[in-house]
């Protein structure tokens, strides 16, 4: 009898990430993350019920544009192509 070979599944990146995951992606503490959010230097998060999430594409774009230096995080208003309006 032959064993059925299983192929590894490709890693699927989530569309939304929580504060801990964003802080990890930017190599900053959660406290710094909340300070940056309060000052408007992060992309606008998405609220789902009582949860706050950020779009992975926006965070990845930010990392590609300027690295993970928290002082250099740009305001979300300068990201017009990535923001969507919800009705």
Q: What are the residue boundaries of the structural domains of the chain, listed by start?
A: 16-69
pLDDT greater than 80 at residue 85: no
Provide DSSP, 42-74. SPPPEEETTEEEEEHHHHHHHHHHHTT-GGGPP
Q: How confident is the model at residue 4 (pLDDT cuts 50, 70, 90)?
A: confident
Q: Parallel, antiparallel, or unpaired for β 51-55 and 46-48?
A: antiparallel
pLDDT at 12: 84
Q: Is the pTM of this model over 0.95?
A: no
| Greater model confidence, 63 or 77 | 63
- pLDDT tens profile 15-67: 999 999 999 988 899 999 999 999 888 899 999 999 999 999 999 888 777 65
Task: Give the helix/strand (H/E) hosting 17.
Answer: strand 16-17
Phi and psi dihedrals of 36, rounded to 5? -65, -40
Query: Which of 3.30.1490, 1.10.1660, 2.40.160, 1.10.3430 is the CATH number of 16-69?
Result: 1.10.1660
Phi and psi dihedrals of 57, rounded to 5? -60, -40
């Amino acid at each position: 009898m032959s064993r059925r070979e299983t192929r590894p599944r490709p890693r699927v990146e989530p569309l939304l990430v929580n504060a801990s995951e964003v802080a990890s992606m930017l190599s900053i503490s959660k406290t710094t993350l909340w300070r940056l959010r309060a000052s408007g230097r992060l992309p606008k998060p998405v609220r789902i019920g009582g949860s706050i999430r950020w779009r992975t594409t926006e965070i990845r774009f930010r990392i590609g544009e300027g690295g993970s230096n928290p002082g250099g995080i740009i305001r979300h208003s300068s990201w017009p192509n990535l923001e969507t309006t919800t009705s």
